[in-house]
């Protein structure tokens, strides 16, 4: 195992760039298409397809700088993986739902499909950085290109796409990549520190509020784990698979996530951290984390 990515930095940068939300190129699709339920994350209820009352005529958020104070924490956590600008500028070629209302419902219907495809592109890109998964590299790359081709379908074809079946196929590949990388991490760890059993909690493990301060979770399987408000201060999360894990209010201060597998920006945005949290270089330190 090495910390060097298996694919070129240019390839990674280009892919990651197109999978970052560019709200200035989007017609506020997440602020219209998605439903909200009043909760700690959203101050109000909102139906799918109805614009948030804070959305301005220019598709910008009128309370962008005060979202957390006004009870819209969910908006600071959400990440569309660039699906919004892809639909706005590519699929609909710059037509927006206000000026082309005949497309509005269709846009809102296909937005979650594009979101899922972009999320898969993010994970496939990350899987291609795992050198220990080189034996399935060609298959991962083929899956990435197939997923990319789906994102270029027209809206009607997108709406008919069996995205659940595609997700299942890609997820099987991602799991395989994760197994290879985590096994390699544990093998190397054992060779330097003596035998250590790999930590496995199984998919969807209930670790809400768990006391895992300074825990050695290197190479652990925390796929889909509920880590809400867990104490992971100074934990070692290198080569830990966190795909789909719920990190709302998880305390990551001082934790090492430099090579965490399948980490997303939305997970970091939902968690608590500070300047001592060690992140992969391509991830952003959330603005609300304490210094
Ligand atoms: S509060 Fe702002 S970011 Fe959140 S949904 Fe409304 S317009 Fe969008």
Q: Does the pLDDT of residue 3 top 60, yes or no?
A: no
Tens-place pLDDT, residues 58-94: 999 999 999 999 999 999 999 999 999 999 999 999 9
Whole-number Å distance, alpha carbon 72 to ligand 1 midpoint, is: 7
Indicate which residue's Cα is closest to atom 1 of ligand 1: 54
Mean pLDDT of 168-196: 86
Q: Does the pLDDT of residue 1 top 50, yes or no?
A: no
Whole-number Å distance, alpha carbon 162 to ligand 1 midpoint, is: 29
Q: Name residues contacting ligand 1 (CB within 6 A).
A: 31, 52, 54-55, 61, 63, 67, 72, 75
Tens-place pLDDT, residues 33-48: 999 999 999 999 999 9
Q: What is the pLDDT of residue 59?
A: 96
Average pLDDT score over the chain? 93
Residues in Cβ contact with 138 at an 8 Å cutoff, skipping those fewer than 6 apart: none
Lowest mean pLDDT among 12-21, 121-130, 171-180, 209-218: 12-21
Whole-number Å distance, alpha carbon 270 to ligand 1 midpoint, is: 16
Residue 245: CB atoms within 10 A of its CB come to 27
Give which of 210, 213, 209 is closest to 232, Cα–Cα. 213
Whole-number Å distance, alpha carbon 30 to ligand 1 midpoint, is: 8
What is d(CA 119, CA 19) in angstroms, rounded to the nearest whole number?
A: 8
Q: What is the pLDDT of residue 203?
A: 75
Closest ligand 1 atom number to CA of residue 64: 2
Lowest mean pLDDT among 2-6, 34-38, 222-226, 247-251: 2-6
Give the mutation target among 32, 56, 72 for probing the ligand 1 site: most ligand atoms within 8 A of CB.
72
pLDDT bucket at 194, cuts 50 / 70 / 90: low
Identify the structural domains of the chain with CATH numbers, from first to last.
Answer: 198-291 (2.160.20.80)
Yes or no: say if 221 and 200 are a contact pair by the CB < 8 Å rule.
yes
Q: What is the pLDDT of residue 6?
A: 63
Q: What is the pLDDT of residue 94?
A: 97
Q: What is the pLDDT of residue 93?
A: 97
């Amino acid at each position: 195992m090495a910390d060097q990515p298996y694919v070129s930095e240019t390839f990674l940068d280009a892919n990651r760039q197109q999978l970052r939300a560019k709200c200035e190129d989007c017609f506020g699709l997440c602020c219209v298409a998605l439903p909200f339920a009043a909760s700690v994350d959203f101050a109000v209820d909102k139906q799918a397809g109805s614009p948030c009352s804070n959305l301005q005529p220019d598709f910008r958020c009128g309370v962008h700088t005060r979202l957390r104070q006004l009870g819209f924490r969910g908006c600071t956590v959400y990440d569309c993986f660039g699906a919004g600008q892809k639909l706005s500028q590519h699929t609909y070629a710059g037509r927006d739902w206000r000026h082309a209302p005949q497309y509005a419902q269709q846009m809102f219907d296909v937005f979650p499909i594009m979101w899922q495809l972009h999320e898969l592109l993010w994970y496939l890109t990350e899987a291609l950085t795992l050198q220990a998964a080189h034996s399935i590299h060609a298959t991962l790359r083929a899956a990435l290109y197939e997923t990319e081709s789906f994102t270029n379908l027209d809206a009607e074809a997108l709406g008919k796409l069996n995205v659940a079946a595609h997700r299942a196929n890609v997820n099987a590949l991602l799991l395989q990549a994760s197994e290879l990388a985590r096994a390699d991490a544990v093998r190397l760890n054992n060779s330097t520190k003596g035998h250590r059993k790999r930590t496995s909690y199984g998919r969807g493990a209930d670790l809400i509020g768990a006391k895992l301060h300074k825990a050695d979770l290197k190479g652990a399987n925390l796929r889909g784990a509920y880590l809400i408000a867990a104490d992971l201060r100074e934990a070692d999360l290198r080569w830990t698979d966190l795909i789909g894990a719920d990190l709302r209010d998880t305390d990551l201060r001082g934790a090492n996530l430099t090579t965490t597998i399948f980490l997303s920006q939305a997970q970091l945005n939902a968690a608590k951290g500070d300047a001592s949290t060690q992140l992969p270089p391509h991830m952003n330190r959330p603005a609300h984390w304490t210094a």
